[in-house]
Structure 1
Amino acid sequence: MQGANLQNNLYNPDRMNNKQVVINDIPKQVNVITQKNFVHGLQNARSILSDLERSIQKSHSYERRLLKCRSQHSHSHSEDGSRDGGVEREKESCARTETANASRSQVDVGESWSTMSIVCLQYQYEELSKRYEALLRAYDERCSALSARDEALQRLRQRVEAAQAHCASANKALLTVGEKYLKLRRRGHAQRAIYREQIKYLQEALRGMLRVASGARLELDAELARKMAAERDATQAVLLAEVCEYSLCY
């Protein structure tokens, strides 16, 4: 009966110091670990209480058997006389007193063991509560760290998106500049071809002009030489000589 009362008192909220455990506020893995530890503690306590209850029941059984044996022994020797009967009654009284003392001592031992088991359970519960609070603090710290990391990732994501938009704009501008460059390059090639044709034409014209000028120069030189040879007037001859020298300078 005492073991059953102790097992019933284990689930009394008043013995738990009115501490409530909120399981839904922690992650599933921490939940499972805490529940397993608590269940293992309860199972150990139940095992201890069951052992104590069996020990008490065995003690009561031994007491009943001892009393039964003593009563049978005293009944079988009751015909030995009043003197022996008085001695036997005295022995039986002493035996009953010793049995009662032994029973009380065993009950006291059982109660002391029950009290110790309750104290152990209370200590284990306090340890589990401390570990649970430490896990909650660690969970809060991890949540704060995760929140800070999420914020940093969000900022980095925004910066990446802004950089991506800037790169897209720069790429578009580069494509526009490239198209303009190719257009100007094609136009430059076309104009260069036109200019080459014009230069070629001008070079041919210049060569023609040089040929004409060279021919005219030769004709002029021949005409001057002929006139100088045919001139009889000294003044005219000097003038023609100066014209020849002047034409040779060019």
Structure 2
Amino acid sequence: MNLKLDLNCDMGESFGTWKMGHDRAIMPYVSSANIACGFHAGDPATMRETVACAIAHGVAIGAHPGLPDLQGFGRRFMQITEQEAYDMAVVQIGALAGVAASQGAKLNHVKAHGMLYNMAVKNQALARGLARAVHDVDPSLVFFGLAGTIMIDEAKALGLRTASEVFGDRSYQSDGSLTPRNLPGAMITDVSLSIEQVLRMVKEKIFIAQDGTQVPVQADTLCLHGDQPDAVSFAQAIRNALKEANIEVGAL
């Protein structure tokens, strides 16, 4: 059986004169772009430009809705209800869908951003709210969620196509969650260790948690963080490693 992996990257997170990430440089190495929709980052011009760049490189376009928190970049905890999660996701998905349509393109997927994503990993109501929003806007969209969590369960319960997401530059806990960024070892900065983790997840369908536990995992899409200083070389190295391992890269 041929192995395949989608490579996704969070993009379009600049705002006004403030620039974030290496979108144009990293776009050739990914297959899916998660584009910020203005709540945590991004603005109309950035959305338009990022969609155009994705189209030019044949990269699948996805909405990347986040919390309404520009100052905190959507990474600060916010107490919200299921209905509020639904409403903010609907608005953001709709906004990017409009930008894509203006350029003759359509959305392929939706992936929540930052703290909204992290909260939905463990909060069933928020996971359900996000899944309902995707379903009600366009049930053909692929729902991206952390592998092995209720995000995937809630989306599947609504009949959505799902993509179980894994990370090559983050360490994991034995319960399948990502190690919080404020703890030691949360980020994997050695590209060889990252490649080792990615290949293990795709080929063996497991990851090794920080405590040494082997945890089963379904790897459909791999997140590449485009805001790291070495993001482009990181993406190049992982793309080359996948090719050498005969793992096809392509959007879902």
Regarding TM over 0.5, the answer is: no
Q: Which has the higher helix share?
A: 1
Q: Which has the higher strand share?
A: 2
TM range (shorter): under 0.3
Q: Which one has a bigger Cα radius of gyration? A: 1
